[in-house]
Amino acid sequence: MKYFTLQELSDSDTAVRMNIDNEPDKDAVENMRRLIDVVLDPARELLGVPIRVNSGYRSKMLNEEVGGVKQSYHLSGRAADITAGSVSANRRLFAILRKLPHKELIWEKGGIWIHVAL
């Protein structure tokens, strides 16, 4: 884990504001480590600029609060919504992510962020 931390994948302003426990279990932590090692760190290395995590791991209650789908990969720590800061940078990031392992890769809200799941 070179560029990302487990903490940033589980931090949530919504969870803090709503007093929701968003502590990942052991399996989710291992999934987040794998997501970082296999997808996020390599993408950051190839892109050459910082990538911000908007949403990573979500507890069931947090997922419901933010309107996530019931079977979301976020629930198991296998997904992250990320941005490189602009639509043009996200286009480059999306092209990089297409070449890396993933189960889901979604261009969200006109490129404001990218959802990637492993």
Q: Tens digit of pLDDT for each residue in 33-80? A: 999 999 999 999 999 999 999 999 999 999 999 999 999 999 999 999
Which pTM does this prediction carry?
0.94
pLDDT tens-digit readout, 70-93: 999 999 999 999 999 999 999 999
| Tokens (6 digits) for 110 | 């006109």
71 vs 86: CA distance, rounded Å: 29
Residues in the chain: 118
What is the Rg, in whole angstroms, of the alpha carbon atoms belonging to the chain? 13
Give the pLDDT band of residue 1 (cuts 50, 70, 90).
confident
Domain boundaries, the chain: 6-117
Give the pLDDT band of residue 118 (cuts 50, 70, 90).
very high
Q: What is the pLDDT of residue 46?
A: 98
The CATH number of 6-117, from 3.30.420.40, 3.10.28.10, 3.30.499.10, 3.30.1380.10, is: 3.30.1380.10
Q: What is the pLDDT of residue 78?
A: 98
86 vs 109: CA distance, rounded Å: 12
Closest C-alpha among 34, 35, 12 to residue 23: 12
